[in-house]
């Protein structure tokens, strides 16, 4: 039995939420039903729904912008003829003009369970706009592809809030977008007229492959579920001068730089004894982004046991290892990064200065892990009132 998505529930027994209303929809490439029809197309053809506008997050409503941090402009959707308002360009908040023709804003984006993924903050900005302009917000829930049990990492410090981490939650939060919407709305004071349409049949222990649903990449550099499994840690490499594998066929699984000796780095990492993972010596030549066209030495991250793998710990340990082995070559990435122009990218990715300082010291995994165990316990209690699934 497969999971039934929030959008399916809306189009079935809960059509009354939008029947006769003027509707806008926030969508992206992974906004699909189980038969792979796009949400925008299905809403547009539904006789009981008056779809008036589409809203596109980072990478666009149809995924037309392949590279990272590329802004988009408003345009006409070629399939529906509707205007697509960009929420990753001159503004990340829906404006009053954008919202003028609608009464209800639907949100149907596939998240990946990681604090630094921008789609959940697009959701928060949409909720704020609904509160400001008197619109209803309906979040159509989708699975957390890396399950809803595991929580990992430190809670973001408020002074490091950004578009890749707006609220004090851990790096791996173990919540669905619907649950996060409830948390944001009540705990962090958005206060919009919010309805979450839950899934049916989803359990917290499920990985995406357990859901019986097709995987469509939610953004260009997360092509597989395996990509999402490593992403909560390997995304930190974006905050360094190392390549995170963009421009290869396995982004966030290949990590390296021209100065890295692959076998030396792999041996060092494997001796750390990190659970559920093996680092294979690897060479790769990115086709774009960092070191485009240049041979890099590094590792490929092979997850052998998802249930014990700690991606955030593995990502921090990988960066610390390169800094320890190549202190003369290792460097942090300089701002700007995702609309932050002052703080280092690694600081806003980690949600504070503490972890970058530990990486510079070459801290070992037990010391790193100990810094967030209290935060994890705190958040597990904090999120309980907002969980929708057993």
pLDDT digits (tens, 9 = 90+) for 2-52: 999 999 999 999 999 999 999 999 999 999 999 999 999 999 999 889 999
**Domain covering 6-220, topology:** Rossmann fold (3.40.50)
Residue 95: Cβ within 10 Å count: 14
Say how many Å lie between the first and final Cα of the chain, rounded: 17
Q: What is the mean pLDDT of residues 61-90?
A: 82
pLDDT in tens, 206-261: 999 999 999 999 999 999 999 999 999 999 999 999 999 999 999 999 999 999 99
Cα 129 to chain centroid distance, Å, stands at 21
Residue with tokens 């929580």: 151
pLDDT (0 to 100) of residue 68? 56
**Dmax (CA) of the chain:** 64
Could you tell me which CATH class the domain 225-372 is placed in?
A: alpha beta
Calculate the average pLDDT of the chain: 96
- Give ranges for CATH 3.90.1150.140 in the chain: 225-372
* Exposed/middle/buried for residue 68 (C-beta within 10 Å: 0-12, 13-18, 19+): middle
Q: What is the mean pLDDT of residues 377-385?
A: 98
- Give ranges for CATH 3.40.50.12170 in the chain: 6-220
Sign of CA dihedral 7, 9, 14, 15: positive
Q: Kindly indicate the confidence band of residue 60, based on its pLDDT and cuts at 50, 70 and 90.
A: confident
DSSP sequence for 57-114 = -TT-TTS---STT-----EE-TTT--EEEESSSS-SSPPHHHHTT-SEEEE-----SB
pLDDT in tens, 172-210: 999 999 999 999 999 999 999 999 999 999 999 999 999
The better pLDDT of the pair 67, 79 is held by 79
pLDDT (0 to 100) of residue 259? 98
Let me know: does 321 contact 269? Beta carbons within 8 Å: yes
pLDDT (0 to 100) of residue 345? 98
Q: How far is CA 225 from CA 115, 144, 210, 216, 259, in A?
A: 17, 11, 11, 9, 30
Share of the chain above pLDDT 70, in %: 98
């Amino acid at each position: 039995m497969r999971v039934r998505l929030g959008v399916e529930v809306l189009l079935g027994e809960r059509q009354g939420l939008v029947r006769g209303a003027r509707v806008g929809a926030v969508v992206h490439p992974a906004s699909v039903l189980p038969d792979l029809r796009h949400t925008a197309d299905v809403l547009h053809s539904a006789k009981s729904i008056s779809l008036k506008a589409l809203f596109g997050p980072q990478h666009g409503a149809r995924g037309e912008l392949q590279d990272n941090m590329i802004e988009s402009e408003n345009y006409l959707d070629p399939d529906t003829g509707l205007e697509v308002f960009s929420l990753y360009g001159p503004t990340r908040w829906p404006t009053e003009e954008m919202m003028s023709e609608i009464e209800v804003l639907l949100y149907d984006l596939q998240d990946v369970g990681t604090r630094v993924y921008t789609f959940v903050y697009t959701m928060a900005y949409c909720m704020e706009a609904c509160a400001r302009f008197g619109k209803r917000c309906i979040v159509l829930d989708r699975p957390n592809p890396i399950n809803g049990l595991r929580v990992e990492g430190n809670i973001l410090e408020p002074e490091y809030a950004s578009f890749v981490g707006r609220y004090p939650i851990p790096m791996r939060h173990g919540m669905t977008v619907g649950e996060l919407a409830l948390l944001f709305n009540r705990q962090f004071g958005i206060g919009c007229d919010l309805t979450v349409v839950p899934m049916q049949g989803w359990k917290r222990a499920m990985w995406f492959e357990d859901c019986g649903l097709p995987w469509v990449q939610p953004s260009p550099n997360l092509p597989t579920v395996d990509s999402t499994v490593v992403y909560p840690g390997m995304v930190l490499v974006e905050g360094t001068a190392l390549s995170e594998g963009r421009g290869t066929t396995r982004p966030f699984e290949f990590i390296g730089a021209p100065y890295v000796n692959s076998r030396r780095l792999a041996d060092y990492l494997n001796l750390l004894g990190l659970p559920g993972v093996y680092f294979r010596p690897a060479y790769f030549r990115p086709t774009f982004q960092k070191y485009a066209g240049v041979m890099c030495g590094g590792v490929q991250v092979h997850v052998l046991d998802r249930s014990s793998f700690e991606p955030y710990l593995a990502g921090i340990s990988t960066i610390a290892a390169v800094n320890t082995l190549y202190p003369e070559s290792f460097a942090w990435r300089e701002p700007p990064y995702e609309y932050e122009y002052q703080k280092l990218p690694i600081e806003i990715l980690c949600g504070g200065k503490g972890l970058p300082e530990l990486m510079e010291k070459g801290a070992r995994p037990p010391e790193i892990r100990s810094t967030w165990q209290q935060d994890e316990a705190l958040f597990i209690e904090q999120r309980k009132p907002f969980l929708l699934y057993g």
